[in-house]
Structure 1
Amino acid sequence: MSYRYINQLATPENINRFLEFVDLAAGAGNDTANVWEIERRLVNSLPMQLCVKALHAEPSSAQLIEERYIGAAYDLEAMGKMPKNSLGWTYSKIMTALGYDPQFYPQRTEFESDADYIGFRVDKTHDIHHILTGFSLDNLGELGVISVTVAQTRYPTFLLIDLLSLLLTFFTSDTLVSDVETDADLTKTLGYKFDLISQGINIGRNAKPLFPIKWEEGLERSLEDWRSELNIKPVLEGPWSWYSRPELQAAIA
């Protein structure tokens, strides 16, 4: 049968590795350290090698990787004094309203490999991508924004989270999107996650490369100018948009 190839994939070693990643991904919503552990385990993997190859194929990204650019730490107080509606000002207002720490990711200044640096840079710019794309900074929008990164870089940690989220929802979902009564229940449906991932992938494919941009040096630029230049059509409405949150609308009013 044509399905015999599955036997070649489903080796005991691959099954055990898969189950370990399932366990880590399932707990990532409660402990972000699980995400860092997934990154650590994938840093020398074949999927990460493909990610490195894809980024090296884009000249600006290759240059950033070679430079090992870190940039200044995000200072919410200083960014809050930037011009209204600038990328930095908007980032500061949203992160402050949510009570989020801009230095949530592991802080480093030295890197063992290109793959190690790429993981650091993806982590540092992740919330900037939330602001740019409009995807909410919670479970309702998370799969969307990581799918933007997946579409542009093949970053394996985010790709794995996308895939495992679909798989886990496949086994647990008992509700159609059309039957959901509250936004909180949306994340439990398979259709919601398919739509969210698809929208993120489409935004990523249509946008110019985000990885090589030194956001730290362009925070005072208008958010709309950045979106226009990068061909990003943000999510401005619906449950997975941060624009739909009244407290965040008030923060940037």
Structure 2
Amino acid sequence: MIETINQSQETTILESFLELVKSPYGDFAAIGKLSHVLNDPATLQKIVAFLSLTPRGKQAFVDRPLLGKIDLQQLHQLPNHTLGHLYADHMIRNGFTPQPIKEIANDPFVFLGAHIGETHDIWHVVTGCDTDKPGEVQLEAFYTAQLDPDRLFLALLAKNLLKTAMYEVELCEQIMDGLTQGWMMGKRAKPLFGIQWNRLWAIPLEEVQTSLNIASI
């Protein structure tokens, strides 16, 4: 059972949450601050324990696999139905660049954050979630289903619901559809955490999705 937060933590969390609500979408500094105060060591330990229930997840915390250097132009030369090509196309179209290669200390919490961060856009491609607001909500719901009991993604969903209610209520139906679809997809899918995606670049995306029980959307 997750320990309840004390009054001091509650105040810090609420302040960080409101700061994120007021921030523009994609403010990674504000997201990182909220993550730091929400996912305390006790929570992170429970996430690690949950992810370690599968053989792949358990081994990932031993091997700590990272993507390594990614050449988007080279990946883009792969057949257009492969994971590598579609990932590169996603990154190039959106003007994204892969995260820089990092040295991972022998710390499961550091690896957890690094792995989730550098594979975020791969999860976008594999799940079919767009990068617009409903698509990001859909992927956040997918994360919430897959990374029990990560408090951050639940908070990000709450933040986006509040911002929708305050500023873009006309997106309500799309946001709610994304949330429900992402949650159900995440519950049905096999765990994505710990997959060594750089070994799957040449595999057709549809084949990858089928192997993970993810229906193309």
**Unaligned stretches of 5+ residues in structure 2:** none
TM-score normalised to structure 2 length: 0.86
Cα deviations across residues 147-185 of structure 1 (Å, max 9, x unaligned)?
212111123322221123224444x2684xxxx4xxxxx
1:150 to 144, 150, 174: 144
Contact 1:207/1:230 (CA < 8 Å) preserved in 2? yes
Aligned position for 2:112: 118
Q: Would you say 1:50 and 2:46 are equivalent positions?
A: yes
Aligned position for 1:251: none
Matches within 5 A, 1:4-19: 11=7, 13-19=9-15
Aligned position for 2:215: 233
Q: Percent of aligned pairs with the same residue?
A: 27
2:179 to 194, 197, 214: 197
Give the letter aligned to residue 142 of structure 1. E
Q: Following the alignment from structure 1 to structure 2, what is the Cα–Cα distance between the partners of residues 84 and 59?
A: 31
Cα shift at 1:194? 2.8
Cα deviations across residues 52-92 of structure 1 (Å, max 9, x unaligned)?
12111222101111111113232201101112210001111
Give the letter aligned to residue 113 of structure 1. D
Aligned position for 1:240: none
Aligned position for 2:103: 109
Aligned position for 1:243: none
Contact 2:138/2:179 (CA < 8 Å) preserved in 1? yes
Aligned position for 1:136: 130
2:190 to 187, 195, 208: 208
Give the letter aligned to residue 129 of structure 2. F
TM-score normalised to structure 1 length: 0.75
Q: Following the alignment from structure 2 to structure 1, what is the Cα–Cα distance between the partners of residues 201 and 57?
A: 19
Contact 2:134/2:175 (CA < 8 Å) preserved in 1? no
1:160 to 155, 162, 167: 155
Cα shift at 1:137? 1.7
Query: Residue 50 of structure 1: SS of its match in structure 2?
Result: helix
Q: 1:134 to 1:173 in 2, by over 3 A?
A: same
- Equivalent pairs counted in the alignment come to 213
Give the letter aligned to residue 81 of structure 2. N
Q: Report the structure number with the largest CA radius of gyration.
A: 1
Q: 1:162 to 1:230 in 2, by over 3 A?
A: same
Cα shift at 1:107? 4.6
Give the letter aligned to residue 86 of structure 2. T
Cα deviations across residues 107-152 of structure 1 (Å, max 9, x unaligned)?
5212362122111111111101111111112323111112212111
Aligned position for 2:89: 93
